[in-house]
Every structure is written in structure tokens, then in C-alpha cells.
Amino acid sequence: MRKLRYHLVDVFTDRQFGGNPLAVFTNGRGVSTEMMQTIAKELNLSETTFVLPPEDAANDYRVRIFTPGQELPMAGHPTVGTTFVLAREHLIERGSDDTTTEIKLEEGVGTIPVRIEWRAGGAAGFIEMRQPLPTFGLCVENSAAVAEMLSIEESEIVETNLPLEVVSCGVPFLYVPVKSLRAVQSIKFRVDVWESKLKDVVPPEVFVFTREVEFDGSTVHSRMFAPGLGIYEDPATGGASGPLGCYLVQHGVLPCDGEVELTSEQGIEMGRPSFIKIKIARNGEEITDVRVGGECRFMGEGYLEIED
């Protein structure tokens, strides 16, 4: 039997039992892809990560990310949470006078730079990743089908005067603007409608947002559904938050004269409040930088016994 040790951390939160839980295996050497996927399904969290030596010596680590259903080329809360665990386990070098440290993680989309802000006591505080620049894709015209999928009135979408659009900073999401907080809170995602009317048209990740918020300091209230990945609802989605910021800037929802910062509140309906910080930089009409960050809380650790 081989013992595989893992760490459990809540990501994009400053409190226990908030944010998005993540399991991090800091030593993924010798674990097959099939076993990584089986472990992710066994733990049944939104994502589980495995840390490996980098393929390029200029980088710090390679990180593989799995949902219960499949491997992802990039994701936000696994990147931030894995970095937090690496820092906590002293697997990231930090100078005695350093207030910040930058590392480079290899993921399926390429190299992801990550910046760590250190607390006075030496623990990792705010962690921020840089995401690939956005690509804007398909605009979905069938707002009636999307509304039916979400179990809300079509007018809640149409009256925003914003597009139903696929945007990606490494992973594509369908962005659905909704007029009222009440409608977003009432969503009951219908997998049958997604499968019958939209599965072959849009990505398996559907990100819903409204400008009405519950918490002071938040910019948007968000929910994310990904039935195609084995995730009914996700409490905090960093990989979707970068494209969300790009969408809001691209369509003039948020003015951006050089740089804009915003906060997405997510996971409220799940009882796991999450707060994701987003920074978008733009030069003229071109988005030039996408950053997503937040805090983490360590929750515990354990091990799995795997038959060789």
C-alpha cells in the first residue's frame, strides 16, 4: 500500500467553511493519470490537484487539476489554493525580508505566474494569479432556452441588454447576465434542458451574474453551474472570474481607464460565501492583463492508502 498525503484548504475566503474546498497532493510523482482522476472522483470536491516537478527548470512546479469528471487545463481556485499549501509547507522559497514572492506554475494552458503577499507572521496572505488574455467567442441568441435552463423569466436576461457570450481565459464559460438578485437567488438549474437544447451549443460551464449584490464592497453577485464536469454548482470559480472581468469591461458595464478592480461574491446560496478579487488592465480597446486573487484558510490534512 502507498500512502498519499493531501491537504484540505478553503479558497477565496477569510473564514473556515467558506469559499471553495480543495484537496492538494503535494507529491504527485508516480501517480498515473487514471489514478488522479479516480482520487478526484473519490474525494468529490470541485477540484483536486497534484503537484509535480516542472518540465521547464525555469518554473517552480507543475500542477495537474481534476474535477470529479475530468482534468482541466487551468482553474483559479486550485491555482490559488495549491500555492497557499506550497507556501504553508515551506515548498516555496522566501527571503527573510521579502513581503511578496512570485512563482511560476505549469498548467495545461502554459505557465501561470502567481504572486504571494506574506503576512507579518510569515504565513501566506493574499495570493493572486495572472490568467491568459481573453478570447471572446459565440454569442447565444436563444435566451428563451437559457432562461428555461435556469428556471427564470426570459425578461430577466433580455432586459440587461447584454449578450449571452462565451468568454475564455483558458477555460470557456457561457456568461449569462441577469437583471435582479432575486432571480439569481431563485435559479434551479435544469440539467435536462441543458442536455436537450444547449449541450451541443455552449460549454459545460454556465456562469450567471447580476449587478445587484448582498455584501458591501462586492461588484457582482455570481453563480456557476457545470453539470458536464460533474459539478452541479461551484461555490467559487477563479477560472471564470478573469473572463467575467473581461466581459464587464468589454461591454462597458465597468469603465476601465487603464485598470479596474472588482469583487465577485459567489457561493452565497450554497452557504459558502466566497469573495474573489479581479483586476483587469486595458490599453485602448485591448485587454492587456487579467489577474484573479483571494485568501485561503487551512482546514486539515490526511492520507489515502492506494494499492500498488
The H-or-E segment that residue 158 falls in is helix 155-158
CA quadruple 104, 108, 110, 115: dihedral positive or negative?
negative
From 34, 47, 214, 295, active-site residue: 47
Collapsing DSSP to helix, strand or coil, 114 comes out as strand
Phi-psi bin for 24: left (phi > 0), alpha (psi -120 to 50), beta?
beta
Measure Cα distances from 86 to 57, 92, 130 in Å: 17, 6, 18
Q: Mark whether 285 is an active-site residue.
A: no
- Give whole-number Cα distances, 212 to 167, 187, 248, 263, in Å: 22, 15, 14, 12
Calpha distance 280→133 (Å, rounded): 10
Q: Helix (H, G, I), strand (E, B), or coil: what is residue 92?
A: coil
Task: Report yes or no: 114 and 128 within 8 Å, Cβ to Cβ.
Answer: yes
CB 1 within 8 A of CB 308: yes
Q: In angstroms, rounded to a whole number, what is the distance separating the alpha carbons of residues 136 and 170?
A: 11
Residue with C-alpha cell 502554459? 110
The residue whose grid cell reads 494569479 is 129
Q: Are 266 and 237 in contact (CB under 8 A)?
A: yes
Distance CA 298, CA 308 (A): 30
Q: How far apart are CA 191 and CA 80, in angstroms?
A: 29
Residues annotated as catalytic are 47
